[in-house]
Structure 1
């Protein structure tokens, strides 16, 4: 998590293709996996861009069950957060928020069972395209299935995968060329939806500089700099 002399880290909740541990290690090489998270009263869907998104729920699924989103938790250095901003298309596609997430540390007994502890975490949400019912992009199906495999190994419930993810993400191979595209996208995302300006994507991929955030760097965006950066104190102090 860093020393007292190192810049503060953000605690990040990944719920889409960043369930894929290898993708996160390639995009954010200094980012360790911390454990499992559950975000209550939100629902998961594929939006019109063809990628995963979440939105706050206003109604219950039924009398006994509320919406919930499961994800994997990572610690982001400021540099890795800036690179994640680029890959997530901040602020054109996703915006950044700090939201309390129920957390189970990796390696603990019965991870994902019982009650976890609430920790404020960095979450990327697309508020402009907040409706579901759309088809995922073919290469995104590949990346999501790799993420689902990792998520299940880390303790995400199979029931959640079958009920929430599988209606959008079929468990099937997509072909060699689609697999190759998925691998390229995992290493450095290039937007195919037209939402992120082409020059931003091209320059970011070529230089690795945080051009998307408008110079704000880590902690910029809808979540605000101070609130995101201070998340390390919550984690390191086990508050």
Structure 2
């Protein structure tokens, strides 16, 4: 098993139970030095897709999951890793318990830019709220610019 840092809709425990039934939640935390952004509008769900990029002052709230090998393969399919849309990277997560742990996350293999749909942004904000993100973080997601689709 290995730690996966979910920052998008996979923060929602119900969704993760469907996609990765053998992989329990393992806490929450922050990826420091990165920020949430959007890109790959031409590949997206009614708009640009969520990703993270390095940013010296950025922080991204994440839900951690202890991913079983068989679930990792399934999750790669969901995230379009075989097509090259997303790829896995290793990074450090600062947990709310104060530990720094190594985890992997998916990053978009496309240029940054474009707007997510209002519906997609709502899904991300709802997932962050369910995962326990602070109110100001969730509000920041809900108030991001988006297209009206």
Alignment of 1:72-83 (within 5 A): 72-83=63-74
1:67 match: secondary structure? strand
Residue 53 of structure 2: aligned partner: 55
Q: CA 1:75/1:25 → structure 2, altered by over 3 Å: closer, same or farther?
A: same
Alignment of 1:153-164 (within 5 A): 154=132, 156-163=133-140
1:57 match: secondary structure? strand
Cα distance in structure 2, aligned partners of 1:45 and 1:120 = 22
Cα distance in structure 2, aligned partners of 1:169 and 1:53 = 15
RMSD (Å) for aligned C-alpha atoms? 2.1
Q: Whose Rg is larger? A: 1
Alpha-carbon distance, 1:136 to partner: 2.6
What's the TM-score once normalised by structure 2's chain length? Answer: 0.83
Does structure 1 retain, via aligned residues, the 8 Å contact 2:23–2:68? yes
Does structure 2 retain, via aligned residues, the 8 Å contact 1:20–1:143? no
Indicate yes or no: 2:106 matched with 1:124.
yes
Q: CA 1:81/1:71 → structure 2, altered by over 3 Å: closer, same or farther?
A: same
1:41 match: secondary structure? strand
Q: List structure 1 runs of 4+ shifted beyond 6 angstroms.
A: none
Indicate yes or no: 2:11 matched with 1:19.
yes
**2:117 alignment partner, one of 133, 136, 142:** 136
Q: Which runs of 5+ in 1 are unaligned?
A: 1-8, 59-65, 106-115, 175-239
Cα distance in structure 1, aligned partners of 2:145 and 2:63 = 18
Alpha-carbon distance, 1:162 to partner: 2.1
Does structure 2 retain, via aligned residues, the 8 Å contact 1:45–1:168? no
Aligned residue-pair number: 140
Spell out, residue by residue over 1:153-208, the C-alpha distance to the aligned partner (whole angstroms, 9 max, x if none). Answer: x3x21122223x123388xxx9xxxxxxxxxxxxxxxxxxxxxxxxxxxxxxxxxx
Residue 44 of structure 1: aligned partner: 36
1:89 match: secondary structure? coil
Alpha-carbon distance, 1:57 to partner: 1.1
Alpha-carbon distance, 1:93 to partner: 1.1
What's the TM-score once normalised by structure 1's chain length? Answer: 0.53
Alpha-carbon distance, 1:133 to partner: 4.1
Alpha-carbon distance, 1:41 to partner: 1.0
